Amino acid sequence: MTFRVSVGISNHHVHLTEEVYQKLFHSPYEKIKDLTQKGEFATDKMVTLEGPHGKIERVRFLGPFRSYNQVEITATDAHLLGINPPVRKSNDLQNSEKITLIGDDGQVTLENACILAECHIHMNQDDLKKYGVEDNEIVKVHVGQKRKGIMYAHIKASENGVLDFHVDRDEANAFLLTDKDEVIVEKCQEEDLL
């Protein structure tokens, strides 16, 4: 079975605990826009990321607060900062990269906090049944109109998941993808995973 999914392009961003947020900002955040996934939103607060070789300014804090701190960047960002974060699923932060965050009112250096996020497909339980896939399953994704290719993504199921194929800005640029483009997803064969 194959099925179509729309593309959601993710720019660099940070997820923070309330404790770390308060070290960076003394004023509360304001929600400025809901994101595709239910309950997630962009805020008005931004940080500067600092690495050994450079800085990236205006990196948005996405709410709500989480139980862990996570900085998601692209490979291009990593090169500019002079760091080497691993490609990981969200919240898989063990032995990830150290990074410094500078807010309006303070700065924090976080150990094991920075990753390049694996591309993934958000789903809910009804989607899993409809498309015959399982949480964390690896699927093959046919991407691109002008520049075609194949990517491999994992299924990320949650109770309130909204069907969406998430890639970062570098991945989108490589295949000339834009938000709301559609990709075709199919189950992997054994030889695809070797």
Please tell me whether residues 140 and 180 are part of one structural domain: yes
Quick one: which of 178, 162, 128, 186 has its CA closest to 8? 178
pLDDT at 193 over 90: no
The pLDDT value given to residue 191 = 78
Please tell me whether residues 75 and 155 are part of one structural domain: no
Provide mean pLDDT across the span 10-15.
97
Name the band, by pLDDT with cuts 50, 70 and 90, for residue 190: confident
Query: Which residue segment(s) compose the domain that 155 sits in?
Result: 2-7+119-193
In sequence order, what are the residues at sequence separation of 6 or more whose Cβ sits closer than 8 angstroms to the Cβ of residue 78? Answer: 84, 85, 97, 116
Last residue of a domain, one of 93, 117, 141: 117
Please tell me whether residues 83 and 108 are part of one structural domain: yes
pLDDT digits (tens, 9 = 90+) for 40-86: 999 999 999 999 999 999 999 999 999 999 999 999 999 999 999 99
Please tell me whether residues 96 and 126 are part of one structural domain: no
pLDDT at 12 over 90: yes
Are 152 and 123 in contact by the 8 Å Cβ rule? The answer is: no
pLDDT digits (tens, 9 = 90+) for 120-165: 999 999 999 999 999 999 999 999 888 999 999 999 999 999 999 9
Query: What is the rounded CA–CA span in Å between residue 132 and residue 153?
Result: 15
The pLDDT value given to residue 189 = 84
Last residue of a domain, one of 65, 94, 117: 117
How many domains is the chain built from? 2
The pLDDT value given to residue 1 = 79
